[in-house]
Structure formats: structure tokens, C-alpha cells
Amino acid sequence: MLVLRELRASDRPALERLIRSTNAFREDEVEVALELIDASSDPAKGYLLVVAADVDAAQGRDEPVGYACWGLTPLTDGAYDLYWIVVDHAQQGRGIGRKLLEHVRTDVRARHGRLVIIETSGKPDYAYQRAFYERCGGTLLARYPDFYRLGDDKLVYLVRP
């Protein structure tokens, strides 16, 4: 059964494994993803994180299969950034990413947030991520040509909470 739950300290190795399983991130991006996971355990830092876990209570199984990390954008009144959303490579395409994003929207709504901003890459191999945001109701707001590096634009999506 898929359960959305809070982060536990013991989740870190499993979350690192699933980040790496996607082959979507360079090593420096993996390091930043892990820094945000570590920062999420300190509420004062303002990072929010939800874990999607495959749970079978009878068998004592509780395995993280995805997570999302978001937070209030500093110096804004109700704008939130979705910093990271990851689903284990072997579990993609089964609706887990959509459930995580829905959880983020619900949480932002409960905090009276007005919008969720998602930044992603325009590279051809990020077509999957762009299709995901568009299928989940995201609107493409802006494209910054060659932002990340030459030939790698930054795309900004808006999702309403």
C-alpha cells in the first residue's frame, strides 16, 4: 500500500538510492538534493518534505519509493517553490509523482499559499519531467535560454495550489 508520511532519519540511505536510481541528476545535483533532505529535518529551515512509502504493516515493510521537497520562497507572500520531486525509477508511471504533487498542492493551500513554482530543464532528456508537470496542470510561464549552460534552458512552471 502506498502511504505518504513524514521523513524519518532512517530514510536517508533509501532516498539517496532512489535519487540515484533515476539517472536524472549529476553528482553535484545529488549532493544538493541530499543537503535539502538533511535541512528538512530542521523545521527552522523552512523546507517541507513528504515521503511516499510502500508499506505492508503485516510484513513490517516500509520502503521509500519517492519524495517531494518544497518550501515558502523567501521574501514572498505565499509563493512556494517545489525544490525536488523524485520517484524510484522502477516505480515511475504508476501515479506516485501525481500523488506527491497533489500532496504539495494541498499543503500549500492549507498554508494559504497562492502559487507553486517549479523550475526545470529544457533539455530533450527532460521531456518526461515536462510532460509530467503539464499533465498535472502546470502552466509554462517562462523560458530562460541557455540558463543552466549553453543549450540547456531553464523552464518555469506554475502550479496552482
Ligand X SMILES: CC(C)(COP(=O)(O)OP(=O)(O)OC[C@H]1O[C@@H](n2cnc3c(N)ncnc32)[C@H](O)[C@@H]1OP(=O)(O)O)[C@@H](O)C(=O)NCCC(=O)NCCS
Least separation in angstroms between residue 58's CB and ligand X is: 25
Distance separating alpha carbons of residues 45 and 76, to the nearest angstrom: 16
Closest to ligand X by CB, 134 or 146: 134
Are the CB atoms for 154 and 141 separated by under 8 Å?
no
Are the CB atoms for 8 and 74 separated by under 8 Å?
no
* Distance from chain centroid for Cα 96: 11
User: Angle 27-40/12-21 helices, nearest 10 degrees?
Assistant: 150
Least separation in angstroms between residue 95's CB and ligand X is: 4
By CB under 6 A, residue 96 contacts ligand X: yes
Closest to ligand X by CB, 41 or 92: 92
Closest to ligand X by CB, 57 or 140: 140
By CB under 6 A, residue 86 contacts ligand X: yes
Which region, judged by CB under 6 A, interacts with ligand X, from 4-12, 91-99, 104-112, 140-148?
Answer: 91-99
The DSSP element (H or E) to which 38 belongs, if any, is helix 27-40
Closest to ligand X by CB, 136 or 156: 136
Distance separating alpha carbons of residues 39 and 45, to the nearest angstrom: 6
Which parts of this chain interact with ligand X (CB under 6 A)?
Answer: 22, 24, 84-87, 92-98, 120, 128-129, 131-132, 135-136
